[in-house]
């Protein structure tokens, strides 16, 4: 089976060519806006490295995506247009005193010149990228010594705070020389949203962003929201001031800012804000140049499209008639009150239309899949470039809205308790006369350009027999054509990642971003213990275990109880514990980060165990691992074995638990689990 990507088929070439006649490609206003105020960038291609010389962000693979570059037949022309816009990088002047560094990471870093120094909005994902963005500003503005006076986090997604330690020294924050401003509940959501399902989310995020695809016309070209994600060091500094009410106004380094709270729409904790002395509005990530995700394909709780629409309506009401410049933390700004009002109102109407028309149809009895198949946006909304489905799509957003209101079950009892894919696929293949006949039918569908139907048939064969190379090869070819036709960056990446893994298997390089100690310190002990509960091998946890944990530096005490296969805890010690662990939170964090082995913590008396060491080891042995490389387009390993924990490697020396305790690596495995948190919006 060839592992190389194929050319676009005749049907794909024709489908992509037809896009030119459906959208206003002669409207070049976005290109003018995206280049307006350009000051400069580093000599191309942009490449940012860490202290070890490893590249954490580069635009080198995208240098062919220039403004006038012709669209390859393997790319949807609408997505190609967005990809070219997202490649425009460097320092831009938005208006007097307001600057943005764009395409130095997934998000923008906005820089406001205050009375004495700088106010930074959203310091990117990685410390290296944020530091380089600030260095670019200082060099091009010829202000090498200008200090950062404040940082604003617009919301709780990591691409809007993770690089903070690249631009701010935490000691300056502790000394009150730098202020950190964030929306209410920011810290909780910043570190908790992805903790519990983190392994699964990051695996699916690999499909959503396509970091392991070769960048280029037959591979990854864009995510719709940006080029992709950096892989540098992630950090966090806790806010020194939180905002909780719409209308709250503060002054940072002489700059007045009025806040508008928007929780539960694009992010659990978010605000946008207005600069009354400058007639400038920061839309955070609530209004960008794409339809956003109501339910992200990487996996997350469904967002509230109705609330999203209402927040945009409030922003229009509060600031619309007094805003001359709008910028967001992705993409490029807009200028002019009329254009800004049109932008906000049509984004508002887009999310409201999605919500209300899905509800109208589900109340007629139609399911999410059925509604999504016929759902059409009004042309007055759909023809606006900023409402195109580059990141979210009409199809998967409608399904997400249905899920938010109705859940996974469509109400048909025949679908209440279906067979799992492996079992049903085998029965379907047998019923259809065997794999060869299904392959023949799928091949005929492929030859007619019926790629969705071909994919459905071939998926049955692959899940019936994952060793069938002909089925995998044809399914890879099929998914590839679907990817080439996709307007949404995440759809393209999902299809092409699926095709690649069908051909090559799962190959994940060991270049994951590193997590700064500040991220672990920001996690509460409740979050950490809840994450342990999500790893507990319940079917094997037959014996009751009661452990006391005491943290001498913070004065916190917990009792953890394992009973009936479940983990519970209270924030105080309990009598009759099997074992007591006494340590410091800083030592605990070091163990979680892999900076200190549990062996060394015990032998250096940074951690002390009293009571049954065997019980403590028993608990550690009950902590299961997620699989960061689980298959997606082929059957998963034996679920019965995984459920019972029989898929795990045995401990080094199960006959000697006391001796094995100090060698045990379960705590560092917890570090790996917590470190693999997905990024993105």
Residue 100 and residue 227 in one domain: yes
Residue 616 and residue 659 in one domain: no
pLDDT of res. 370: 99
CATH value at residue 532 = 3.30.1050.10
Q: Which of 205, 70, 86, 77 is nearest to 493 (CA)?
A: 205
Residue 208 and residue 96 in one domain: yes
DSSP reduced 3-state for 207? helix
Residue 146 and residue 252 in one domain: yes
The whole-angstrom separation of Cα 33 and Cα 387 is 16
CATH value at residue 476 = 1.25.40.880
pLDDT of res. 103: 98
Residue 382 and residue 427 in one domain: no
CATH value at residue 345 = 3.60.15.30
pLDDT of res. 193: 75
Tell me, yes or no, whether 9 lies in a domain.
Answer: no
The helices-and-strands tally (H runs, E runs) of the chain is: 25, 21
The answer to whether the beta carbons of residues 382 and 481 sit under 8 Å apart is: no
Q: What is the DSSP letter of 385?
A: G
Map tokens 């539960």 to a residue. Answer: 264
C-alpha 20 chain-centroid distance: 31
pLDDT of res. 48: 98
| Residue-number span of the structural domain to which 474 is assigned | 421-485
SS (H, E, C) 445-479: HHHCCCHHHHHHHHHHHHHHCCCCHHHHHHHHHHH
Residue 180 and residue 58 in one domain: yes
- CA distances 151 to 173, 245, 355, 667, Å, are 10, 19, 34, 34
The whole-angstrom separation of Cα 128 and Cα 299 is 27
Per-residue pLDDT tens for 494-539?
Answer: 999 999 999 999 988 766 666 777 887 888 999 999 999 999 999 9
Residue 215 and residue 336 in one domain: yes
Domain end residue (candidates: 437, 468, 485): 485
Residue 38 and residue 76 in one domain: yes
Q: How many CB atoms lie within 10 A of CB 424?
A: 14
Question: What backbone phi and psi angles, to 5 degrees, belong to 540?
Answer: -100, -10
Residue 374 and residue 230 in one domain: yes
pLDDT of res. 36: 99
Residue 474 and residue 530 in one domain: no
pLDDT of res. 643: 95
Four-CA torsion 393, 395, 396, 398, nearest 10 degrees: 110
pLDDT of res. 650: 60
Residue 186 and residue 128 in one domain: yes
pLDDT under 50: residue ranges of the chain: 653-680
Q: Which of 396, 312, 406, 385 is nearest to 352 (CA)?
A: 312
Which residues, 6+ apart, have CB-to-CB distance to 300 below 8 Å?
Answer: 193, 194, 201
Residue 208 — left, alpha, or beta (φ > 0 → left; ψ -120 to 50 → alpha)? alpha
Domain end residue (candidates: 485, 508, 536): 485
Tell me, yes or no, whether 129 lies in a domain.
Answer: yes
pTM for the predicted model, two decimal places: 0.94
């Amino acid at each position: 089976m060839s592992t190389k990507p194929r050319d676009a088929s005749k049907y794909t070439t024709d489908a992509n060519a037809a896009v030119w006649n459906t959208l206003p490609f002669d409207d070049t206003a976005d290109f003018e806006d995206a280049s307006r105020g350009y000051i400069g960038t580093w000599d191309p291609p942009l490449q940012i490295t860490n202290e070890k010389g490893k590249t954490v962000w580069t635009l080198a693979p995208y240098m062919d995506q220039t403004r006038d570059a012709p669209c390859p037949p393997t790319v949807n022309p609408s997505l190609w247009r967005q990809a070219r816009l997202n490649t425009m990088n460097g320092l831009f002047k938005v208006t007097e005193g307001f600057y943005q560094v764009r395409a130095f990471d997934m998000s923008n870093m906005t820089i406001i010149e205050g009375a004495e120094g700088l106010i930074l909005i959203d310091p990117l994902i990685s410390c290296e990228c944020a530091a380089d963005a600030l260095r670019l500003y200082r060099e091009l503005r010829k202000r090498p010594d200008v200090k950062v006076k404040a940082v604003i986090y617009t919301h709780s997604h990591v691409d809007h705070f993770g690089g903070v330690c690249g631009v701010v020294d935490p000691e300056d924050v502790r000394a009150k020389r730098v202020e950190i401003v964030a929306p209410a509940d920011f810290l909780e959501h910043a570190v908790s949203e992805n903790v519990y399902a983190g392994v699964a989310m990051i695996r699916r995020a690999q499909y959503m962003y396509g970091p392991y695809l070769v960048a280029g016309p037959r591979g990854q070209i864009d995510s719709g929201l940006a080029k992709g994600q950096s892989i540098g060091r992630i950090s966090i500094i806790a806010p020194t001031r939180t905002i909780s009410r719409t209308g709250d106004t503060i002054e940072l380094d002489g700059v007045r800012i009025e806040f508008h709270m928007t929780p539960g729409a694009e992010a659990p904790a978010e605000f946008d804000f207005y600069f009354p002395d400058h007639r400038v509005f920061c839309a955070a990530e609530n209004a960008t140049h794409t339809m956003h995700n109501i339910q992200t394909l990487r996996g997350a709780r469904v967002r509230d499209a109705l609330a999203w629409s209402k927040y945009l309506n409030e922003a229009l009401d509060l600031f619309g008639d007094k805003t001359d410049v709008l910028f967001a933390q992705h993409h490029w700004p807009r200028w002019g009150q009329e254009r800004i009002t049109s932008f906000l109102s049509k984004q508002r109407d887009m999310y409201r239309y999605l919500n209300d028309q899905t509800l109208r149809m589900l109340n007629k009895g139609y399911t999410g899949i059925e509604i999504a198949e016929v759902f059409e946006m009004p042309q007055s909304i759909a023809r606006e470039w900023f409402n195109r489905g580059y990141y979210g799509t009409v199809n998967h957003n409608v399904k997400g809205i249905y899920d938010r209101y109705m859940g996974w079950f469509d109400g048909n009892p025949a679908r209440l308790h279906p067979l799992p894919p492996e079992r049903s696929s085998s029965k379907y293949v047998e019923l259809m006369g065997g794999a060869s006949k299904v392959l023949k039918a799928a091949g005929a569908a492929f030859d007619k350009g019926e790629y969705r139907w071909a994919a459905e048939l071939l998926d049955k064969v692959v899940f019936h027999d994952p060793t069938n190379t002909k089925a995998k090869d044809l399914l890879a070819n099929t998914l590839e054509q679907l990817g080439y036709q996709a307007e949404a960056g995440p759809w393209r990446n999902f299809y092409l990642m699926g095709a690649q893994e069908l051909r090559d298997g799962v190959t994940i390089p060991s270049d994951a971003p590193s997590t700064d100690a500040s991220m672990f310190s920001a996690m509460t002990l409740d979050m950490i213990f809840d994450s342990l509960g999500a790893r507990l091998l319940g079917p094997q946890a037959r014996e009751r275990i009661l452990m006391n944990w005491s943290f001498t530096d913070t004065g916190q005490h917990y009792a953890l109880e394992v009973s009936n296969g479940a983990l519970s805890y209270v924030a105080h010690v309990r009598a009759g514990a099997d074992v007591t662990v006494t340590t410091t939170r800083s030592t605990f964090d070091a163990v979680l980060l892999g900076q200190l082995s549990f062996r060394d913590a015990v032998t250096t008396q940074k951690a002390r165990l009293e009571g049954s060491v065997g019980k403590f080891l028993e608990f550690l042995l009950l902590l299961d691992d997620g699989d960061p490389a689980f298959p997606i387009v082929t059957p998963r390993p034996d679920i019965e074995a995984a459920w019972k924990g029989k898929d795990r490697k045995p401990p080094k020396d199960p006959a000697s638990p006391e001796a094995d305790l100090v060698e045990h690596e379960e705590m560092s495995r917890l570090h790996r689990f917590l470190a693999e948190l997905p990024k993105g919006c």
